Amino acid sequence: MMSVPLRFIGAVSLFALGACSMTPAYQTPALKSAPPAQFKAMEGWKTATPSDHLDRGDWWTLLGDAQLNALAERVKVDNQSIAAAEAAYRQARALVSQQRAGLFPTISLTGSGTRSGGGGTTSAPGAGGSTRAGDTQRYQVGIGATWEPDVWGRIRAGISGAKASAEASAADLAAARLSAQGELATSYLGLRRADAEIAMVQATVEGYQRSLQITTNRYNAAIAPKSDVLQAQSQLASAQSTLEGLVQNRAAFENAIAVLVGEPASSFRLAADAGWKPIVPEIPVGVPSTLLERRPDVAAAERRVAAANAQIGVSRAAFFPTFSLTANGRSTTSALGDLFTATANTWSLGLTAAQTLFDAGARRAQVAQSRAAYDQTAANYRQTALQAFQDVENQLAAARTLERQYALQLTASQAADQTEQMLLNQYKAGQVAYTDVVAAQASALSARRALVTTAVSRQTTAVALVQALGGGWR
């Protein structure tokens, strides 16, 4: 290899240390319009200071359910979607280390030993054996190093892009956790709503059975017509059918929870909680401008823009020559004991440079592709941010509406219960027809179920708001 003066190599090294970068200066893409000062669905919100790197907390404890808390801890450990996202994050971190290794030289060590010759055999005293006349032995050991100075910032741009991708992967992991926890909370609340409705409909079925007995007795006493008995039978069968549907819905929620906690559905059981009551957490406070720092999907989208920006630098660096420094040392001898003597050693230093002169526009097309990829990721980031605002506004509007609906439905349910009891008493006294009782009972059951549904909807809306905000608020 051609020898190169040390001064020249030193100059190249200094030039590499002060190398320039082909990567455009990165700035977070701005939205087409400035974020609003507050959410329109909740006037008077105070400023909060959430950030993507902060712990989002055990937000599910806001629902005040010990069983849900225990299940959420299992999701953290056993959920396979989270495990897959965590493995993807470790891959991304390993890629950063792999890219960073390109800044340092590669060193290799080689060694060999050969023996050749022919002729008769002669003894070799003290050698522990015999050799053939004319045999030759040759031993060689060598060490070499190769280093590509990052003159144009190609490697550094790759490292920057890999780091941004790793940060995006970390945000994906946070999003997977938040999504799994949100699905758990929603499925758990659905199961508890089914439990509450099952208990409610079971009580109603028992009441309908008593009503059927009353109408049957009245019919047998020739006080009531046969149609009253048929109506009572129809009403009872309809309620029993509704009960079977609720049992099936509960099983579906239970099986969904099993998957989320990493357990086969066939072996997972979650007992009914007769004393369960829906607890609606207080709505938090916050400001849209901090939302962009809070939601993991928004953070991941922004980090992918940074990775795409770094890739532009990698593509632009291809227009400039690449330099490679090599250093080799070799020792060759016919006697093993002389392998490391000065007279057996040789060395060489070298510098190579390569420059593509013509590629029919391939590099220019690669830069254009990288710029287009950047524009795509920037648009995706803006769309994700806009979607985040929409999600929060939707959940805030739903929370406010459901709060008002619950108060109205509570009044309606209480009035329907009183009406049911009054008409049943009047029917026993022979003052009203049984059709009036049937209508009142159906109305009361519907009102009670609507009240439970609205209460759980307020809870699930709070869960959805947590996800829209990117985590808990305590």
Q: Does some domain include residue 127?
A: no
CATH number at residue 232: 1.20.1600.10
Domain count, the chain: 1
Alpha carbon distance 154, 331 (integer Å): 36
The 10 Å Cβ neighbour count of residue 241 is 11
Tell me, what's the pLDDT at 109? 87
What tokens appear for 100 in the block? 């960073």
Is residue 296 included in any domain, yes or no?
yes
Q: How far is CA 408 from CA 168, 405, 459, in A?
A: 45, 5, 17
Whether residue 126 lies inside any domain: the answer is no
Specify the pLDDT at position 202.
Answer: 93
Domain contains 367: yes
Q: Cβ distance 449 to 243 under 8 Å?
A: no
* Side-chain half-sphere exposure of 304, counting CA atoms within 13 A: 21
Query: Average pLDDT for residues 342-356, to the nearest whole number?
Result: 79
Residue 45's pLDDT band (cuts 50, 70, 90): very low
Residue type at position 280? V
pLDDT of amino acid 121: 53
- Tell me the Cα Rg of the chain: 38
229-259 pLDDT, tens per residue? 999 999 999 999 999 999 999 999 999 999 9
Q: What torsion do the CA atoms of 302, 304, 307, 308 make, to the nearest 10 degrees?
A: -100
**pLDDT tens digits, one per residue of 263-314:** 999 999 999 987 888 888 887 555 555 666 678 888 899 899 999 999 898 8
Residue 374 has pLDDT above 50, yes or no: yes
pTM of this structure: 0.77
Mean pLDDT estimate for the chain? 83
* Residue 105: inside a domain: yes
pLDDT at res. 2: 38
Q: What are the structure tokens assigned to 373, written together? A: 């990829």
Q: Under a CB-based contact definition with an 8 Å cutoff, are residues 364 and 7 in contact? A: no
For residue 395, give its domain range.
6-114+137-469
Q: What percent of the chain lies above the pLDDT cut of 90? A: 37
**DSSP class of residue 356?**
-
Are 349 and 327 a contacting pair, CB within 8 Å?
A: yes
In degrees, rounded to 5, the angle at the alpha carbon of residue 19 between the alpha carbons of residues 18 and 24 is 125
Q: Is residue 192 within 8 Å of 254, Cβ to Cβ?
A: no
Residue 331 in 3-state DSSP? Answer: strand
For residues 53 and 315, what is the distance between their CA atoms, to the nearest angstrom?
31
Find, among 30, 27, 33, 59, the residue nearest to 468 by Cα: 59
- The pLDDT confidence band at residue 158, using thresholds 50, 70 and 90, is confident
Average pLDDT over residues 41-47: 48
Q: Is residue 121 part of a domain?
A: no
The contacts of residue 361 (CB under 8 Å, 6+ apart) are: none
pLDDT band per the 50, 70, 90 thresholds, residue 8: very low
Looking at residue 188, its amino acid is Y
Stronger pLDDT, 362 or 5, i.e. the higher one? 362
Q: In this predicted model, what pLDDT tens digit does every residue of 93-145 receive, in sequence order?
A: 898 888 888 888 888 888 888 877 765 555 444 444 455 656 778 888 888 88
Q: Which of 15-19, 185-189, 424-428 has the highest mean pLDDT?
A: 185-189
Question: Mean of the pLDDT values across residues 25-37?
Answer: 70
Res. 51: pLDDT tops 90: no
Q: Of 73-82, 143-152, 218-227, give the lowest mean pLDDT range.
A: 143-152
With CA atoms as reference, report the closest residue to 73 among 266, 82, 54, 192.
Answer: 82
With respect to residue 123, please indicate whether it lies within any of the assigned structural domains. no
For 120, 340, 360, the CA distances from 196, given in Å and listed in that order, are 101, 86, 71
Within a domain: residue 97?
Answer: yes
Report d(CA 122, CA 120) in Å as an integer. 7
What is residue 244's predicted lDDT score, i.e. its pLDDT?
96
